[in-house]
Amino acid sequence: MCGLLTFLAPAGGAADRLEAVREALPCMAHRGPDENGTWHDDDVVSGFHRLAVIDVTGSHQPMLWGPPDDPDRYSIVFNGEIYNYIELRDTLATEHGAVFVTDGDTEVLVTALHHWGREALPRLRGMFAFAMWDRHERTLTAARDAFGIKPLYWAAGPGGIALASEKKSLLALAPTLGLTGDDLALDPAATQDYLVLQYAPEPASLHRVVRRIESGSLLTVHPGGTPSHDRWFTPVLHNRGGAGPAIHRRIADALRDSVAIHMRSDVPVGAFLSGGIDSTAIVALAREHHPGITAFTAGFEQPGYSEVDVAAETADLLGVRHVVRTVSAAEVMDALPSIVWYLDDPVADPALVPLWFIAREARREVTVVLSGEGADELFGGYRVYREPNSLKGFEYLPGSVRAALGRVSRLLPDGLRGKDLLRRGALPMEQRYYGNARTFQPHQLAAVWRGHDPTRDHTDVTAEHYRHSAGWDPVARMQHLDLFTWLRGDILVKADKMTMAHSLELRVPFLDRDVFEVARGLPTSEKIVGDVTKHGLRRALRDIVPPHVLHRRKLGFPVPARLWLRGEMYPWARDILRTSGAGHLVDLPAVQRMLDEHRGGTVDHSRRLWTLLVFLIWHGIFVEHRIRPETTLAAITARGPQ
């Protein structure tokens, strides 16, 4: 796991930008503290920070590689892991006579790209973001893995184009790219989307000029040219894979194989463990290969907000060592500015808080952790996926009646039982479902966000994905939407950013090519059965996961933000509002009234308050430059690039 930065000059002279790239590199030194380096020719400057996991003493980057007649044709920087690199290396040696001088996956990747071109990408089992310069064709090629596990940002200006693992490095390189203050202004659409969804959806970021290469996509550009984007992978859930014991065996076999290949490492490996089925399955299967694996769990002192007891029971039954990190409100308030700095863009998911602390704890003992992200999207794990059944009765009502029920719902007070059911039942899926986060309704946002655009709606983000899934089963459509929005916008962002902040590599065996091939064909009967989610996965794991976890309801790192904001966090939140310089964007007195209402217990504003507070902290760091969080940047900058 690493951090990359590549700059492409529009018309030569890249060597003159070498120092600027070196100065921008330390912003992501936490992604790779083991070594760093740069390479350049007249067109390109590449920089790299490495976390050495495979072939620790070799596979240095930037890596130069080429065929025997042109040995320095390619320069590549690559963040991630290709887990089937051993098998690919053997195939390349057999089919093309390839000879390898390192024992790592970077050389395998560039060799595969040389011989197979873009067709190499579907053959990779792993997580990746890379930028490869072809000196012969004078083409820069960059790509991300199928699900967007690893990030890759880009920005372009009159001074050139640059790509990086972290947006901070691109912002630092803005003068070199010829970007002005207007270019770096907030993107109003992305900001409003954040307030509604609690994340900025790809390909946008909150800075107008900085974009992300989308998951499963490829970017190519020549010096001085316009980048072209192409999708090399689109997940399709076709629901034609059968049901019953045979498919359950296929699920178990695919997941067991995935965990085995994800265990490949030359450094210590651990695993995150919650009280749920997903992480428990990963730990149980990892233990088959490494009985001494350590499981790490985060929790809180508040009753009902901790899965520590369940995780401890699981660890005891599996016979694995268990490390627990209990997090206090005071620690959260102290750490949140640092957390937001590492995020690059705000993500208002409180679940990233325990992830931050348990990642720091795990890094004391291991360099790699396995985790259960992706299981819910692939196997139908979210309780909201039961909604097509629970709202089915509304489909039999005439359109005029459904519309009337929708009007009635708007007249009911917020928080009244049944209000949201009426509102959602009155709407077609394309309008009612936009992911797991439902933060601000339009009228709520208009009351606090001064730049509210009433013409922009969540359907501006979701419509394309719904068009692609037209005609699919309703649950599959919801999964498809989440693969393109919630998973890559929230789940994988917090997983990557919170672990890499502590130089810890997180691997996600559920988001594997072969696991997806099994999951994509599951019928709805293997996802939702009555009140039970992930039915097929649960059946597949009967002999792997302890019974006390197998049918346990999903909690998902619950965070007591609701209680904290009524108690010890109230003065902290009030001070954020009092000192914020974002009053031209946010109606701060209105937010203070929300905070007071929440403290009084009359209304639960916790999710909306958290979303706004995280944004205000982000604005104080990246726009006002008033908040200077404690990070490793000062120490790294003092040491300088090597």
Residues identified as active-site: 2
Q: Please, are residues 451 and 640 in contact by the beta-carbon 8 Å criterion?
A: no
Strand partners, 46: 6, 39
Show the DSSP H helices in 448-587 as ranges. 459-468, 474-484, 486, 492-500, 513-519, 535-540, 547-550, 561-566, 570-579
Asked if omega into 442 is within 30° of 0 (cis), the reply is no
70 φ/ψ angles, rounded to the nearest 5 degrees: -150, 65
Distance CA 319, CA 329 (A): 32
User: For residues 31 and 86, what is the distance between their CA atoms, to the nearest angstrom?
Assistant: 24
Burial class (CB within 10 angstroms; exposed 0-12, middle 13-18, buried 19+) of 395: exposed
Helix (H) or strand (E) segment spanning residue 79? strand 74-82
185-208 burial, b for 16+ CB within 10 Å, e for fewer? ebbbbbbbbbbbbbbbbbbbbbbb
Q: Is 289 exposed, middle or buried (0-12, 13-18, 19+ CB in 10 A)?
A: middle
State how far the Cα of 167 lies from the Cα of 153, in Å rounded to an integer. 6
CA atoms within 13 A on the CB side of 536: 30
Tokens coding 46: 């590449």
160-172 b/e with 16+ CB inside 10 Å = b? Answer: bbbbbbbbbbbbb
End-to-end Cα separation, the chain, in angstroms: 18
Q: How far apart are CA 301 and CA 305, in angstroms?
A: 8
Task: Dump strand ranges (E) for 232-383.
Answer: 269-272, 294-300, 321-327, 368-370
Integer Cα distance of 110 and 85 in angstroms? 11
Contact 27, 633 (CB under 8 A): yes
My answer on whether omega of the bond before 67 falls inside 30° of 0, hence cis, is: no
Rounded CA-CA distance 526/534 in Å is: 7
